[in-house]
């Protein structure tokens, strides 16, 4: 039997209007749909003939093991099916896509990649700012708050880069993120947190690095959220409403 294919697709940060036309076509073609934890469940309505499997992975929660997900994709693809692996945000940003591509290609399976809007970009849009404002920074750095072995990033190097920092998966260790950056940046450095960017549950907080953890905890903010730090974030103050909880 001729092998099928696997499509690794970014579903964006949560607003279904941010799905690309190419992503919608991929969903319509799916025989098997593997949905990440942060993908809205109703996205399955765009894949009417697909078998839907939820393979959630979420920091601090019970998650579907990565090797099991990879074996699922291989199994169904070798049966000649079109498998669409739907990831929240951008498929190639902190989503283990590299591991999956290598695993599937080693099995002789065709892999197609479809980009989505990253949560970091959606957070910037929510704040009404440019992450690369040339009057305030030299660029932008996308970083995860912890490496595979649990170590912290090189905060000193990141601080010296004079880039806007867009930090993923940092809410559970926001105090360590703050402390690591305060060792190299002034407490007055603008900072922000955006939770559930682009969705009806979106909550925004504009603050300073010195108050980042206290303000975020006091506002009840948690995962999934993006932490942003840098002078360009100071332009968000006119756009970011005080953080508040939305009723269910």
CA 92/CA 98 separation, integer angstroms? 8
Q: Identify any residues that bridge with 207 across adjacent strands, giving them in sequence order.
A: 191
CA 204/CA 155 separation, integer angstroms? 24
Active site residues: 36, 57, 169
CA 144/CA 108 separation, integer angstroms? 31
Could you count the other beta carbons within 10 Å of the beta carbon of residue 101? 16
3-state secondary structure 142-167: EEECCCCCCCCCCHHHHHHCCCEEEE
Q: What is the DSSP letter of 113?
A: E
């Amino acid at each position: 039997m001729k092998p099928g294919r696997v499509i690794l697709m970014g579903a964006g940060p949560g607003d279904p209007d941010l799905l690309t036309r190419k992503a919608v076509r991929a969903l319509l073609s799916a025989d098997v749909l593997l949905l990440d934890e942060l993908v809205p469940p109703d996205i399955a309505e765009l894949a009417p003939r697909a078998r839907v499997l939820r393979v959630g992975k979420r920091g601090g929660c019970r998650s579907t093991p990565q090797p099991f997900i990879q074996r699922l994709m291989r199994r169904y693809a070798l049966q000649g099916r079109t498998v669409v692996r739907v990831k929240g945000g951008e498929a190639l940003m902190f989503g283990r896509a590299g591991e999956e591509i290598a695993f599937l290609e080693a099995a002789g399976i065709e892999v197609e990649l479809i980009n989505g809007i990253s949560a970091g970009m959606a957070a910037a849009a929510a704040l009404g700012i440019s992450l690369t404002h040339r009057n305030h920074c030299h660029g932008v750095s996308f970083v995860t708050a912890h490496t595979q072995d649990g170590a912290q990033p090189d905060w000193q190097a990141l601080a010296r880069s004079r880039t806007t920092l867009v930090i993923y998966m940092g809410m559970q260790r926001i105090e360590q993120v703050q402390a690591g950056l305060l060792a190299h940046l002034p407490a007055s450095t603008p900072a922000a947190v955006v939770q559930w960017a682009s969705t009806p549950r979106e909550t925004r907080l504009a603050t300073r690095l010195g108050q980042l953890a206290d303000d975020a905890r006091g506002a009840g903010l948690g995962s999934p959220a993006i932490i942003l730090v840098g002078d360009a974030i100071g332009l968000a103050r006119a756009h970011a409403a005080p953080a508040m909880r939305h009723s269910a």
